[in-house]
Amino acid sequence: MSYLETVHDVYKQAAETPDNQLCCISTPPWNLPDLDVPSIMWDMNYGCGTTVQPRDIPREGPILYIGVGGGLELLQFASLARRPGAVIGVDTVLEMIDICKRNIGIAKASNAWLQDDSIDVRHGDALDLPVGDGEVSLVAQNCLFNVFRDAELRKALSEAHRVLADGGALSLSDPVCDKPIPDALRDDERLRAQCISGAIPLQDYLDLLVETGFGTIEVRARRPYRMLDKRRYDVPENILLESVEIVAYKTPVPADGACIFTGRFAIWTGDAETYNDGLGHHLVRDVPLGVCDKTGAALEALGHPDLFVTDRSWHYAGGGTC
Ligand SMILES: C[S@@+](CC[C@H](N)C(=O)[O-])C[C@H]1O[C@@H](n2cnc3c(N)ncnc32)[C@H](O)[C@@H]1O
């Protein structure tokens, strides 16, 4: 059995027998107003974070959700968008598609706003998306891309990039690791399919996003997800898996490198009420300004005693400057 067949096998089983321990989410998903979520969708929450970022809901153009699971996030996206054709979901596992459709049907009974044309669930592969170039405003995937090996991960990212309109966003939630996972564990197909051993370090993930062509990247959240502890797994030392939430925009990659926001802030504390570095960064005294890593490093390199740049908080919520 190839590892992609193992992935299929694991999620066929997860469709037939809901298992709320399969992906160990460490924070509860959004509980949105005027949305009634069927309990089966909570039980089938196989994500490791959330990709539903209310500030990113597009006013027009579809949201493409890759790897539908029980349908929880499709329903949440549809609830926030509330327009016909807002959400397309794709999955390779027919049993998962059937269950997802059934769950959405259950949700219709208690959500009057949910119409037949709110969510379209189709058969489709992350590695060959059934959507034309530039047709989608937002792509989301939660806890799927980490199961792919390097070549497939690159392909999945380039497919997401291909289908996005210019300026569109890829919202993803995936596990990452604090140190590389040994090959023997990475080659364990079942653990990989269960989102335990396929994770890569966050920096490698960010590099891949930039290589794919995403020019602006925001790390919205980062939190512990699981421990690969040396008493239970074949690892020389404990490896912490973290769940990250990233939004990557299809904007051109600037010549001097992508703008990656990791929650750094620049603060001017000098005598003057404002500080301008002459490169478009305007700081008001004592007021933190979110900066990308590139700008943060450049400001730090000035060595000015009244200019502070905070460490990465890994929690960026917008409003900053590149
Ligand atoms: C870990 S589950 C996550 C489900 C959902 N995103 C959630 O957060 O609950 C992975 C999902 O991806 C689907 N899947 C597996 N391989 C896929 C592929 N190549 N393309 C699209 N979906 C795939 C599985 O059937 C399953 O629904």
- The confidence score (pLDDT) of residue 31 equals 87
Is the domain of 240 the same as that of 124?
yes
Ligand 1 contacts CB of residue 7 (under 6 A): yes
User: DSSP label at 248?
Assistant: E
Kindly state whether residue 78 falls inside one of the protein's structural domains: yes
Please give the pLDDT value at position 25.
63
The SS3 call for residue 158 is helix
Q: What angle in degrees, to the nearest 10, is found between the helix axes of 202-212 and 150-163?
A: 50
**Measured in Å, how far apart are the chain's first and last C-alpha atoms?**
46
CA atoms within 13 Å, Cβ hemisphere of 268: 17
Residue ending a domain, choose from 249, 280, 299: 249
Q: How far is the CA of 273 from the centre of ligand 1 (A)?
A: 52
Q: Which atom of ligand 1 is nearest to the CA of 12?
A: 25
Do 158 and 286 fall within a single domain?
no
Asked whether residue 180 is domain-assigned, the answer is: yes
Name, in order, each residue with C-beta under 8 angstroms of 38's C-beta and a sequence gap of 6 or more.
103, 106, 107, 110
* CB of 23 sitting under 6 A from ligand 1: yes
Asked, for residue 318, whether it belongs to a domain, the answer is no
Q: Are 231 and 99 within one domain?
A: yes
If phi over 0 gives left and psi between -120 and 50 gives alpha, with beta otherwise, what is residue 213?
A: left
Which among 221, 74, 251 has a CA at the least distance from the CA of 161? Answer: 251
Same domain, 204 and 108: yes
Measured in whole angstroms, the distance separating CA 304 from the mean position of its chain's CA atoms is: 36
* Rounded-to-integer distance, Cα 251 and Cα 123, Å: 29
Contact predicate 37/75, CB 8 Å: yes
Q: Is the CB of 68 under 6 A from ligand 1?
A: yes
Residues 164 and 40 in one domain: yes
- My answer on whether 229 and 292 are in the same domain is no
Q: Mapping DSSP to helix (H, G, I), strand (E, B) and coil, where does residue 96 land?
A: helix
- Pair (220, 283) in one structural domain: no
Domain-located, residue 112? yes
Answer yes or no: is 115 within a domain. yes
The Cα 219–Cα 315 span in angstroms is: 6
Find, among 82, 76, 94, the residue nearest to 15 by Cα.
94
- Could you say which DSSP state residue 252 is in? P
* Residues 8, 108 share a domain: yes
User: How far apart are alpha carbons 27 and 207 in whole angstroms?
Assistant: 27
Domain count, the chain: 2
Q: Which of 249, 277, 298 is the last residue of a domain?
A: 249
* Domain-terminating residue out of 204, 220, 249: 249
The whole-number pLDDT of residue 87 equals 98
- What's the pLDDT score for residue 24? 61
In a domain, 315, yes or no: no
| Residue of 11, 23, 122, 192 to mutate, ligand 1, most atoms within 8 A of C-beta | 11
Query: Is the domain of 220 the same as that of 285?
Result: no
Nearest CA to ligand 1 atom 5: 69
Give the model's pLDDT for residue 22.
74
pLDDT per residue rounded down to tens, the chain (322 residues)? 677 889 899 999 999 888 777 766 667 778 899 999 999 999 999 999 999 999 999 999 999 999 999 999 999 999 999 999 999 999 999 999 999 999 999 999 999 999 999 999 999 999 999 999 999 999 999 999 999 999 999 999 999 999 999 999 999 999 999 999 999 999 999 999 999 999 999 999 999 999 999 999 999 999 998 999 999 999 999 999 999 999 999 999 999 999 999 999 999 999 999 999 888 899 999 999 999 999 999 999 999 999 999 999 999 988 898 8
Instruction: Please tell me the distance between residue 219's alpha carbon and the centre of ligand 1 in angstroms.
Output: 22
- Assess whether 118 and 186 both reside in one domain: yes
CA 118 – CA 176 distance, rounded (Å): 32
**In-domain check, residue 61:** yes
| Same-domain status, 56 and 189 | yes
**Which of 2, 144, 191, 225 to probe ligand 1 with, by most ligand atoms within 8 A of CB?**
144
- Residues 236, 282, single domain; the answer is no
Q: Which residues contact 162 (CB under 8 A, 6 or more apart)?
A: 129, 133, 134
Which CATH number covers residue 30? 3.40.50.150
Nearest CA to ligand 1 atom 21: 91
Cα distance between residue 201 and residue 199, in whole Å? 7
List the domain range (segments joined by +) for residue 191: 3-249
Strand partners, 173: 142, 245
Q: Does residue 293 lie within any of the structural domains?
A: yes
Q: What is the pLDDT of residue 26?
A: 63
